[in-house]
Amino acid sequence: MIRLIVTAGRRVREFRKEAGLTQPQLADKVGVSLDTIGNIERDEFFTAA
């Protein structure tokens, strides 16, 4: 049996592409840096404790 794991970052990337947005466009729309969008899409993000 194959188990597919979809990460939060992968979902963000899929939704962004479905919306026809580039990373810079999404960053501008949600008010974060381009680096932040890249980090989220690579699942390299941390929340404040």
Q: In the chain, how many domains are there?
A: 1
Which pLDDT tens digit goes with each residue over 12-34?
A: 999 999 999 999 999 999 999 99
Residue 18 placed within a domain: yes
Provide, rounded to the nearest whole percent, the portion of the chain with pLDDT above 90. 69
Residue 26 placed within a domain: yes
In this structure, the number of other CB atoms found within 10 A of the CB of residue 30 comes to 10
Report the alpha-carbon distance of residue 15 to residue 20 in Å, rounded.
9
Residue 21 placed within a domain: yes
Q: Does residue 47 carry a pLDDT above 70?
A: no
Q: Which position has the higher pLDDT, 40 or 5?
A: 40
pLDDT of residue 49: 58
Domain that holds residue 18: 8-41
Report the alpha-carbon distance of residue 34 to residue 31 in Å, rounded.
9
Are 9 and 46 in contact, with CB atoms under 8 Å apart? no
Residue 34 placed within a domain: yes
And the tokens for 12?
A: 């963000």
The reported pTM is 0.78
